[in-house]
Amino acid sequence: MSALLNISNLCKSFGGVTATDNVSLAVEPGELHAIIGPNGAGKTTLISQLSGALSPDSGSIIFKGTDITNRPAHARARLGITRSFQITSLVMDMSVLDNVALAVQARQGHSFRFLRPARSIRPLRDEALEMLDRVGLKARADDPTAALSHGEHRQMEIAIALASGADLMLLDEPMAGLGPQESTAMIEILKALKGERTILLIEHDMDAVFALADRITVLVYGRIIATGAPDEIRGNNDVRHAYLGEE
């Protein structure tokens, strides 16, 4: 079995709190794999270790056959892992298009190029515009990022993840703080990406998770209690206990 991402025996603790407890997980190419779990289950900590923002205490992370456990974040990004943030992380004082163009630029190798004005490089612009089009933000390309709504920022994050050409997209609660309409729009955007990119999705919105995921992993207190297709997870007793507190 050649998984795109193979996590084995990953552990991370902060002081006395074990945020990631012996987590092993394989993400297959092309699948949309959701990670769910109650608050404080260590979902974001796990994503941070995958993106390189945190380094694990032990265990290993293999991506495309390469051990990336100790690689810095920018090196992982170059290998094809991209991350969107639970709290919107964009360059607020740049235009929407510039934000996405920076992602396209990142994919094309180093940017130690000092002469040509980046905004007049057609292929860069066109590709960024195309990504914005896919998330429905083409009309807002030239607006300052700070002027967009929260929902639109979320869509920008997806456009950036797309533009970075990553094989693996780590999406940390893309629906967080969205209204019902915006959520529906986001689900449609993500649905359109299914199969094209491998997505590891953290999400609280269960409707979204069950509508989108091919497989679901349930994390409780840093430990995996179940992994399987949505139907299996729905019928799993442990999961019910974790979520509903049934004895």
Query: Is 123 a binder of another protein (CB under 8 A)?
Result: no
Binding residues for another protein, rule CB under 8 A, total 36
d(CA 46, CA 56): 9
Question: Which of 71/215 has CB closer to another protein?
Answer: 71
Q: Which residue type, as a one-letter code, is found at position 192?
A: A
Q: What is the per-residue binding string for another protein in 42-81, x denoting contact by CB under 8 A?
A: ---------x-x-------------------xxx-xx---
Query: Is 155 a binder of another protein (CB under 8 A)?
Result: no
Sheet of strand 58-63: strand arrangement: 17-27, 5-14, 58-63, 66-67
Question: Which of 15/116 has CB closer to another protein?
Answer: 116
d(CA 215, CA 212): 9
Residue of 44, 49, 105, 227 that binds another protein (CB under 8 A): 105
Beta strand 223-228 with 215-220: parallel, antiparallel or unpaired? antiparallel
d(CA 93, CA 110): 23
Question: Which of 116/196 has CB closer to another protein?
Answer: 116
CB 186 within 8 A of CB 156: no
Question: Which of 108/149 has CB closer to another protein?
Answer: 108
Query: Is 93 a binder of another protein (CB under 8 A)?
Result: yes
User: CB of residue 211 vs another protein: minimum separation in angstroms?
Assistant: 27
Task: Scan for tokens 């994919």, then name that residue.
Answer: 107
Judged by DSSP in three states, 225 sits in strand
Give the bridge partners for 13, in sequence order. 18
Question: Which of 5/218 has CB closer to another protein?
Answer: 5
Residues that bind another protein (CB under 8 A): 51, 53, 73-75, 77-78, 82-83, 85, 89-94, 98-99, 101-103, 105-107, 111-119, 121, 160, 164
